[in-house]
Amino acid sequence: MIAAPLIVHYEGNVPHTYADVNGVATVCAGETGPDVTWGMQLTMQECLTRLDKRLAIEWGKFEPCIKRPITMHQAAALASWEWNVGVTAACNSTLIRKLNEGQPAAAWCKELLRWTNSGGRQLKGLVTRRQGEYAMCVKP
């Protein structure tokens, strides 16, 4: 999936545990969760392998929420966004509702631009990321 390079572009690929902007233990390309523990040390290749596996799992959870055909570029943009916000938030979003209603891509892709806050504040990095995801989403 072409989303992996997009995710690495925005998340980076850090092979050791670090604290994200909210203090959550994070590793590799923004990966969090119960199997991410403080003190982890991985190789860059291990991080890329983890990304490929987890991205397939995440997409498998998220794809059923999408009821209309989408392009490869739209799928990459949505996969990057869902990776960042989580499957529950993504599936329950106005973006997915608009997509599934059959609204034009210009309308539902624009919803990406609203997802720029974390920890109750707008983050410049998320603004930049969403602009990139939006550009990918509306790409022909």
Q: Which of 20, 35, 52, 101 is catalytic?
A: 20
Domain 3-137 has CATH 2.40.40.20: no
Q: What is the pTM of this model?
A: 0.92
pLDDT at 2: 83
Q: How deeply is 94 buried, as exposed, middle or buried, from its count of CB atoms within 10 A (0-12, 13-18, 19+)?
A: exposed
pLDDT of 1 above 70: no
Residues 10-37, mean pLDDT to the nearest whole number:
95
Q: Which of 11, 31, 82, 111 is catalytic?
A: 11
19 forms bridges with which residues in the sheet? 25
> Is there a catalytic annotation at residue 20?
yes
Residues 91-108, mean pLDDT to the nearest whole number:
97
Residues 35-54, mean pLDDT to the nearest whole number:
96
Residues 91-113, mean pLDDT to the nearest whole number:
98
